[in-house]
């Protein structure tokens, strides 16, 4: 068991990467706090974990709200006695996110409130808990677009993920001597709800697939395996990294033709 005696708090645990990670972390021995703005979805994740013999608690949390972030961390410590893995994974990609001209301030602000402030607030309340536990691992979900930009305009999303990446680097430096590792997980395009609701025709899917050397979308379960590595002590000398799990899309964009 790679996460024996660990307590993991995962945001956005009701769907996609968060759900798959919650299931995998629990199967590897972690007690899991599944946090999501959608409590019913978080409850489903927690129920699936418990049905498989694992330990899980569902909490409703909007990561853009300080009180919710404080409460989800408190719930982990109250229920399981400590927090050792914080996976700041919740994020949105707004349907009206576009280029600099078309993107509204509301879309920009909402995207930053969840994707960037949500990670900040997770750390604001999570880091003290990790300190109390003697250290741990923080994983922040960024994206490959933090590194290469997206060919289809989604300026708020891309900028927010760039912020997550830079925030992660500084957090890693600041907390390295406290036995707290902080890494950014940068997934490529995945076959999850978040992306598939936009790539909703075969033509749109093919337009994206053409850029992915592997010729397919990633699965949330494949990202969960990378998150497990970053959560576990197998990655004990890894901090401040931009951990790309992207089917080669970033290499394809950055390798000269």
Ligand X SMILES: NC(=O)c1ccc[n+]([C@@H]2O[C@H](COP(=O)([O-])OP(=O)(O)OC[C@H]3O[C@@H](n4cnc5c(N)ncnc54)[C@H](O)[C@@H]3O)[C@@H](O)[C@H]2O)c1
Alpha helices in 96-219 (DSSP H): 105-112, 118-132, 145-148, 155-175, 193-196, 202-209
The pair of three-digit structure tokens given for residue 47, joined into one six-digit string: 């129920």
Backbone angles phi, psi at 144, to 5 degrees: -60, -25
Angle CA(187)–CA(251)–CA(208) in degrees, nearest 5?
60
Q: Is 136 in the site for ligand X (CB under 6 A)?
A: no
Nearest to 250 by CA among 201, 195, 203, 211: 211
> Which C-beta is closer to ligand X: that of 132 or that of 197?
197
The pair of three-digit structure tokens given for residue 205, joined into one six-digit string: 């899917």
Binding pattern for the stretch 48-87 against ligand X, x by CB under 6 A and - elsewhere: -------------xxxx-----------------------
Binding pattern for the stretch 104-123 against ligand X, x by CB under 6 A and - elsewhere: ----------x---------
d(CA 30, CA 58): 14
Choose, by CB under 6 A, the member of 116, 121, 155, 190 that binds ligand X: 190
Choose, by CB under 6 A, the member of 27, 28, 29, 38 that binds ligand X: 38
Q: Is 11 in the site for ligand X (CB under 6 A)?
A: yes
CB of 72 to ligand X, least distance (A): 9
> Which C-beta is closer to ligand X: that of 129 or that of 249?
249
Map residue 16 onto helix, strand or coil: helix
Q: Are 35 and 61 in contact (CB under 8 A)?
A: yes
> Which C-beta is closer to ligand X: that of 86 or that of 220?
220
Binding pattern for the stretch 191-210 against ligand X, x by CB under 6 A and - elsewhere: -xxxx---------------
Q: Is 43 in the site for ligand X (CB under 6 A)?
A: no
List Cα–Cα distances, 236 to 28, 87, 137, 242, in angstroms.
Answer: 17, 16, 9, 15
> Which C-beta is closer to ligand X: that of 39 or that of 179?
39
d(CA 14, CA 231): 19
Element (H, E) at 59: strand 55-60
**Residue span binding ligand X (CB under 6 A) among the ranges 13-21, 51-59, 72-80, 228-236:** 13-21
CB of 164 to ligand X, least distance (A): 8
Q: Is 41 in the site for ligand X (CB under 6 A)?
A: yes
Which residues in this chain contact ligand X in the complex, by CB under 6 A? 11-12, 14-18, 36-38, 41, 61-64, 89-93, 114, 141, 143, 187, 189-190, 192-195, 220
């Amino acid at each position: 068991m790679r996460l024996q005696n660990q307590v993991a708090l995962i945001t956005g645990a009701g769907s996609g990467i968060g759900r798959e990670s919650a299931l995998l972390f629990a199967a590897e021995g972690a007690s899991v706090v599944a946090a999501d703005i959608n409590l019913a979805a978080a409850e489903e994740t927690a129920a699936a974990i418990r049905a498989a013999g694992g330990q899980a608690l569902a909490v409703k949390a909007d990561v853009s709200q300080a009180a919710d972030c404080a409460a989800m961390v408190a719930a982990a410590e109250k229920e399981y006695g400590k927090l050792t893995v914080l996976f700041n994974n919740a994020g949105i990609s707004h349907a009206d996110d576009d280029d600099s001209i078309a993107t509204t301030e509301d879309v920009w602000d909402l995207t930053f409130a969840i994707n960037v402030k949500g990670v900040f607030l997770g750390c604001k309340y999570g880091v003290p808990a990790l300190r109390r536990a003697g250290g741990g691992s923080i994983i922040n979900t960024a994206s490959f677009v933090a590194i290469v930009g997206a060919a289809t305009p989604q300026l708020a999303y891309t900028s927010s993920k760039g912020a997550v990446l830079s925030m992660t680097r500084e957090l890693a430096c600041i907390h390295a001597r406290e036995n707290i590792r902080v890494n950014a997980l940068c997934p490529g395009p995945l076959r999850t709800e978040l992306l598939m609701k936009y790539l909703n025709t075969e033509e749109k899917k093919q337009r994206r697939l053409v850029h992915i050397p592997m010729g397919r979308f990633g699965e949330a379960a494949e990202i969960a395996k990378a998150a497990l590595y970053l959560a576990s002590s197998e990655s004990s000398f890894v901090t401040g990294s931009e951990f790309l799990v992207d089917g080669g899309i970033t290499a394809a964009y950055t390798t000269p033709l």
